[in-house]
């Protein structure tokens, strides 16, 4: 169920919200905001409705009204399944969170799972799985791996590129719906739900199996849904056997800041930040490649692919 489909519980409010959505899609955000405000008069405790109003107000150029609507969203939904805190940060009304709410990321991808492969590959020209697999191939000379752990595996796009080169392939993801799509492809030996924003002992399935079990850990196009990446490096370090490889991608922040939050509600990370994280864990950077990783609103998104090695 998409956020726009979440009902207020009031039929008239829902109808007004539907008309507001039509107006917004027709390029009339101010009229949409006025009608959405009428819907909220009937359903003042409708968190999804306040979030939609914030979007219309922002597109109308009414920043303060958008901020107020987002604050109402958070008041009514402190878990923040809508990512209202991220939007407040972009509007300058809150500090940038070091991590997005896990429940927001989980719902985002649960909703996206059904159309994920088609939308990414065909519409957004998504290329990280192929490019990351090619970087591993070039750097290792086509080496086969005993055990590969695919973090944020999604529907298995990277798994499809590495399956023929490993004896055992496991995948972890926060979204149950994405895991179901990956399972249907029958390429993984094991799939489980886990949260990369938490320490290994708190993140779910990472602690179920022995440490130091993988000779390759991957994180293809997942780190942009995290700000601070320390937990990911702790998890990778725990999973990797001595001398194992960590292959991952980030959106290129092109700044000296560790990471920034973009209007897409994705994070971009700087190369110096990644280098510092590698140094803290004792990882050596084996290969780095700058490349376009996808299109977004018709514009290319610059990314960086990394291959790091855990000390032997």
pLDDT in tens, 274-295: 999 999 999 999 999 999 998 8
Please determine, for residue 205, whether its predicted confidence score (pLDDT) is greater than 70: no
Q: Do both 268 and 138 map to the same domain?
A: yes
* Structural tokens at position 156: 């298995």
CA-CA-CA-CA torsion sign (90, 95, 99, 105): negative
Structural domain contains residue 116: yes
CATH code, domain carrying 288? 3.40.50.150
Residue 297's pLDDT is: 81
Q: Do both 146 and 33 map to the same domain?
A: no
DSSP for 208-262, please give it: GS-SS-EEEEEE-S-GGG-S--HHHHHHHHHHEEEEEEEEEEEEB--SSSSEEE-
Please determine, for residue 160, whether its predicted confidence score (pLDDT) is greater than 60: yes
Q: Do both 203 and 252 map to the same domain?
A: yes
Top-confidence residue, 124 or 38: 38
Report the C-alpha gap between 40 and 56 in whole angstroms: 13
Top-confidence residue, 199 or 54: 54
DSSP state letter for 61: T
Please determine, for residue 1, whether its predicted confidence score (pLDDT) is greater than 90: no
Report, as an integer, the average pLDDT of 194-212.
Answer: 72
Q: Do both 195 and 282 map to the same domain?
A: yes
Structural domain contains residue 230: yes
Q: Do both 284 and 184 map to the same domain?
A: yes
Structural domain contains residue 269: yes
Report the C-alpha gap between 30 and 20 in whole angstroms: 9
**Per-residue buried b or exposed e for 154-184, using 16+ beta carbons within 10 Å of the residue's own CB:** bbbbbbbbbbebbeebbbbbbbebbbebbee
Structural domain contains residue 38: yes
Structural domain contains residue 205: yes
The residue among 160, 229, 228, 230 whose CA lies nearest residue 188 is 160
Q: Could you read off the pLDDT of 223-250 as tens digits, one per residue?
A: 999 999 999 999 999 999 999 999 999 9
> Are 214 and 149 in contact, with CB atoms under 8 Å apart?
yes
The residue among 122, 136, 57 whose CA lies nearest residue 307 is 136
- Which distant-in-sequence residues (6+ apart) come within 8 Å of 136 by Cβ? 162, 216, 245, 247, 307
Q: Do both 184 and 148 map to the same domain?
A: yes
pLDDT band at 298 (very low <50, low <70, confident <90, very high): confident
Q: Do both 37 and 128 map to the same domain?
A: no
pLDDT band at 2 (very low <50, low <70, confident <90, very high): very low
Residue 4's pLDDT is: 44
Report, as an integer, the average pLDDT of 26-31.
Answer: 96
CATH code, domain carrying 44? 1.25.40.10
Phi-psi region of 206 (alpha: psi -120 to 50; beta: other; left: phi over 0): alpha
Please determine, for residue 187, whether its predicted confidence score (pLDDT) is greater than 60: yes
Please determine, for residue 101, whether its predicted confidence score (pLDDT) is greater than 80: yes
* Domain final residue pick, 95, 121, 142: 95
* Domain final residue pick, 62, 95, 128: 95
Report the C-alpha gap between 310 and 312 in whole angstroms: 6
Q: Do both 158 and 60 map to the same domain?
A: no
How many CB atoms sit inside 10 A of residue 216's CB?
25
Residues above pLDDT 90, as percent of the chain: 83
Residue 288's pLDDT is: 97
Total domains in the fold of the chain:
2
**Residue 75 domain boundaries:** 3-95
Structural domain contains residue 53: yes
Least confident of 69-73, 118-122, 269-273: 118-122
* Domain final residue pick, 95, 124, 157: 95
Structural domain contains residue 47: yes
Q: Could you read off the pLDDT of 33-51 as tens digits, one per residue?
A: 999 999 999 999 999 999 9
Q: Do both 208 and 144 map to the same domain?
A: yes
Q: Do both 67 and 149 map to the same domain?
A: no
Report the C-alpha gap between 120 and 126 in whole angstroms: 5
Q: Do both 65 and 165 map to the same domain?
A: no
Distance of CA 293 to CAs 84, 120, 124, Å?
26, 11, 9
Least confident of 21-35, 207-221, 261-275: 207-221
Structural domain contains residue 104: no
Q: Cα–chain-centroid distance for residue 265?
A: 9
Report the C-alpha gap between 216 and 246 in whole angstroms: 6
> Regarding beta strands 299-309 and 284-296, do their DSSP bridges make them parallel or antiparallel, or are they unpaired?
antiparallel
Longest CA–CA separation in the chain, Å: 65
Q: Do both 224 and 297 map to the same domain?
A: yes
Please determine, for residue 3, whether its predicted confidence score (pLDDT) is greater than 50: no
**Per-residue buried b or exposed e for 73-102, using 16+ beta carbons within 10 Å of the residue's own CB:** bbebbeebbbbbbbbbbbeebbeebebbbb
């Amino acid at each position: 169920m998409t956020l726009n489909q979440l009902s207020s519980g009031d039929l008239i409010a829902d109808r007004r919200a539907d008309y507001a959505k039509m107006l917004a899609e027709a390029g009339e955000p101010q009229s949409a905001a006025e009608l959405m405000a009428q819907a909220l008069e009937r359903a003042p405790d409708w968190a999804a409705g306040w979030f939609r109003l914030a979007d219309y107000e922002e597109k109308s150029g009414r920043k303060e009204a958008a901020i107020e609507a987002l604050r109402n969203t958070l008041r009514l939904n402190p878990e923040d399944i809508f990512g209202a805190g991220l939007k407040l940060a972009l509007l300058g009304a809150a500090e940038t969170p070091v991590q997005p709410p896990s429940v927001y990321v989980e719902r985002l991808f649960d909703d996206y799972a059904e159309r994920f492969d088609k939308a990414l590959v065909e519409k957004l020209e998504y290329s990280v799985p192929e490019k990351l697999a090619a970087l591993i191939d070039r750097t290792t000379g086509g080496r086969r791996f005993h055990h590969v752990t695919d973090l944020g595996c999604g529907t298995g796009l990277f798994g499809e590129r590495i399956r023929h080169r490993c004896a055992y392939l496991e995948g972890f993801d926060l979204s149950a719906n994405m895991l179901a799509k990956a399972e249907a492809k029958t390429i993984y030996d094991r799939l489980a739900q886990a949260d990369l924003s938490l320490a290994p002992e708190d993140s779910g399935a990472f602690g179920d199996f022995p440490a130091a079990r993988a000779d390759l850990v991957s994180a293809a196009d997942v780190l942009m849904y995290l700000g601070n990446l320390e937990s990911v490096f702790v998890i990778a370090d725990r999973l990797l056997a001595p001398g194992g490889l960590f292959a991952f991608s980030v959106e290129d922040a092109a700044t000296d800041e560790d990471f920034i939050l973009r209007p897409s509600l994705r994070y971009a990370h700087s190369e110096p930040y990644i280098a510092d994280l590698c140094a803290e864990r004792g990882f050596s950077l084996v290969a780095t490649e700058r490349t376009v990783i996808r299109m977004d609103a018709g514009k290319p998104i610059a990314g960086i692919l990394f291959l790091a090695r855990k000390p032997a």
